[in-house]
Amino acid sequence: MGVFDSGVGGLTVLHECLVTMGNEDFVYLGDHARLPYGPRPLPEVRRFALEIGAYLEGQGVKLILAACNAATSAALPELQEALAVPVVGVITPEAHAAVQTTRNRRIGLLATQATVDAGRYALLVGDLDAGAELVPVACPKLVPLIESDDPFGAATTEAVREYAEPLKAAGVDTVILGCTHYPLIRPIFQRVFGREVALVFSAEETAREVAETLARKGIENERGREGAYRFLTTGDPVAFRTMGARFLQLPIAEVERVSLDELRAAAA
């Protein structure tokens, strides 16, 4: 199974998949050479996602998980159309969970600029409950802070307070953490919003959707075997290992480097 993200944030989703589907094999690709996706124009993010999708399909994976909110927002339908294998994204499971969780039908979204600009969350929430209100806030400072040497420092708390303000003013009772990096600082979000606000993140819901897709298509591995996992990056393998272990919460032994030329050639 192929999993990809702009960096290491998607490892929070992979962690849940490894726990839920220990019998499956995974290959994870982090596109560190082009990180971050969030501030980039949607057509550019779409092109990156299609290159990675084609590359992973060429590696013989049986399903691809876009474990990146920006890539899912920009390219999920195009990936599903272009590739022969099933493609699952992280946004639909979150929208479902948020609509089911909210009591006052006011839902906040914290995400990157690309994810907010794409508007896919608003469409999904509206399809599920036309009376629900989605309040989106772009959070450009958070990913660099979370990937810094001090992700739990005062600067991170200050940024979270700043981005939470408009959501508190809107009276939301549910907040979607719409970036795979954000769960790493979940305690800060919970402290800033308080216990009365529910936080929704895609890992568990996404892993469940992947498992259901494998079962529905009859392509899951037999029970009882132990799956393997590989890690690829377009950036520095040493930096990926160091940062990745923090997000995966499991040891990362070896990281292979993939060139951008290899990705472009796969999509050509």
Catalytic residues: 68, 179
**Please, what sign has the CA dihedral across residues 244, 84, 73, 173?**
negative
DSSP-derived 3-state class of residue 99:
helix
CB within 8 Å of 34: residues ≥ 6 apart: 6, 40, 48, 234, 260
φ/ψ of 107, rounded to 5, equals -120, 130
Query: Are 221 and 24 a contacting pair, CB within 8 Å?
Result: yes
Q: How far apart are CA 162 and CA 166, in angstroms?
A: 8
φ/ψ of 257, rounded to 5, equals -100, 135
Q: Which residues pair with 42 in a beta bridge?
A: none
Sheet holding 106-111, edge to edge: 133-138, 106-111, 174-178, 198-200
CB within 8 Å of 90: residues ≥ 6 apart: 13, 65, 66, 67, 68, 69, 72, 180, 202, 206
